[in-house]
Chain A
């Protein structure tokens, strides 16, 4: 049985890959068919998954602001709030930001570099 974290990841992967909103039932069926990325065994996260578990995962993701529910339809249909690329960009924005209050969130190997500095370092490497 996969952990909630793994399930959240698998559900987000399905929602990011899919074009349109999906119901919890659809997602459960897709999870049951999913294959393991490495060894190809079927249903590594979603075998014998209850729909209520999928709904729990979806409500956790909704609370985190990652999926939204279409109001008005029954059963509810869920879709990702932003694309995978947008979320990656959000992370990079935080990583590359240099506002004083943001610098304390994480420690980068290399901070911001000026053009001059990058030039000097490229020379040091013997590249141009």
Chain B
């Protein structure tokens, strides 16, 4: 049982630091964004599982041969006042940390969900008053704003894609269609669930490099996935032109972002790429365009299978280490 906790700890550290850094620098995710997205999800889930599992297994080591018997013994101590003398200070410390971390993660996930839903509801209420329905498609609204802006606001049956007057004026009909298909792809592929989960993870553990890298990569990958959907019906040149027009007319230069102010960011270290706000998302537009300009073939079938096998192993190994000894014993 002891080596299990060490193995899980090593896995947790690997998934918290070197692995996400390597993956965020790798070139292949742009070639197979869907596979890369699965890998990020596996890393996040396995990272959390092994982090909590390592502490749990370490803390229960004196009272049980495996996780199951350890948890039974712990339940006895908590509910039946059985003596806790077997547990040393560090064991109790590890168990408390595991419990707190679990509660913190679940709580942050729910809190982020609530905050996002509230912001979306407010946004939707204002849209209903300020924007007018568009003739370009169902669930599409036009907002009277001069700069070219397009976005989608998820909300189940009330999901809506919003275009600005400036965007409609700047784009040709086929370019506008590419933008609409792109935004609708976000909605139909449920990208908001990924955005929510990774935003919550970053909120919960902002000091962990993996959470920022994961969120930025996921933000970038969903754009590539949506671009790929648009490319099925619109030409590459059309999409590139739409991206270039919207991006070059976009008001959100670093100066504009500073003027808008970001309460959560103001005290962050400006030398960190995340603190300027530009690194993740700015890199996104550049990598989207370069990916369209000089496309590279998707990962080969065996390589994709290997990545998927990695995802499966990442989830299976910590789960098996935690559960199998108890089931066998």
In the assembled complex, B173 has its CB within 8 A of some CB on chain A: no
In the complex, how many residues of chain A place their beta carbon closer than 8 angstroms to a beta carbon of chain B? Answer: 43
Task: Name the interface residues of B97-123: CB closer than 8 Å to any CB of A.
Answer: 112, 115-116, 119-120, 123
In the assembled complex, A125 has its CB within 8 A of some CB on chain B: yes
In the assembled complex, A122 has its CB within 8 A of some CB on chain B: yes
Q: Is the CB of A110 within 8 A of B129?
A: no
Instruction: Tell me which of A91, A117, A118, A125 contacts B241 (CB under 8 A).
Output: A125
What's the minimum C-beta distance from A100 to chain B, rounded to whole angstroms? 5
In the assembled complex, B179 has its CB within 8 A of some CB on chain A: yes
| Docked CA distance A109–B251 (Å) | 13
Q: Is the CB of A107 within 8 A of B192?
A: yes
In the assembled complex, A52 has its CB within 8 A of some CB on chain B: no
In the assembled complex, B328 has its CB within 8 A of some CB on chain A: no
In the assembled complex, B30 has its CB within 8 A of some CB on chain A: no
Q: Which residues of A contact B281 (CB under 8 A)?
A: 98, 103, 111-113
In the assembled complex, A36 has its CB within 8 A of some CB on chain B: no
Q: Which residues of A contact B286 (CB under 8 A)?
A: 117, 120
Instruction: Tell me which of A5, A9, A66, A124 contacts B289 (CB under 8 A).
Output: A124
| Docked CA distance A115–B203 (Å) | 28
In the assembled complex, A75 has its CB within 8 A of some CB on chain B: no
Q: Is the CB of A106 within 8 A of B264?
A: no
> Provided the pairs A98-B257, A99-B265, A125-B241 are in contact, do residues A106 and B282 lie with their beta carbons within 8 angstroms?
no
Q: Is the CB of B145 within 8 A of A111?
A: no
Q: Is the CB of A118 within 8 A of B149?
A: no
Stretch at the interface among B13-21, B65-73, B242-250, B306-314: B242-250
What's the minimum C-beta distance from B160 to chain A, rounded to whole angstroms? 10
Q: Which residues of B contact A102 (CB under 8 A)?
A: 119
Per-position binary interface string of chain A over residues 19-41, scored 1 when its CB falls under 8 Å from any chain B CB and 0 otherwise: 00000000000000000000000
| Docked CA distance A127–B248 (Å) | 10
Task: Name the interface residues of A87-104: CB closer than 8 Å to any CB of B.
Answer: 87-88, 90-104
> Provided the pairs A96-B260, A107-B183, A121-B244 are in contact, do residues A9 and B250 lie with their beta carbons within 8 angstroms?
no
What's the minimum C-beta distance from A46 to chain B, rounded to whole angstroms? 17
Closest to B199 in A: A104
In the assembled complex, B252 has its CB within 8 A of some CB on chain A: yes
**Given A88-B145, A91-B126, A96-B256, 10 more contacts at CB 8 Å?**
A66-B129, A107-B152, A107-B226, A111-B282, A112-B278, A112-B282, A113-B281, A114-B253, A121-B247, A121-B285
Pick 10 A–B contacts, CB within 8 A, sort by A. A8-B129, A92-B149, A95-B151, A99-B263, A103-B281, A104-B196, A109-B182, A113-B282, A115-B253, A118-B253
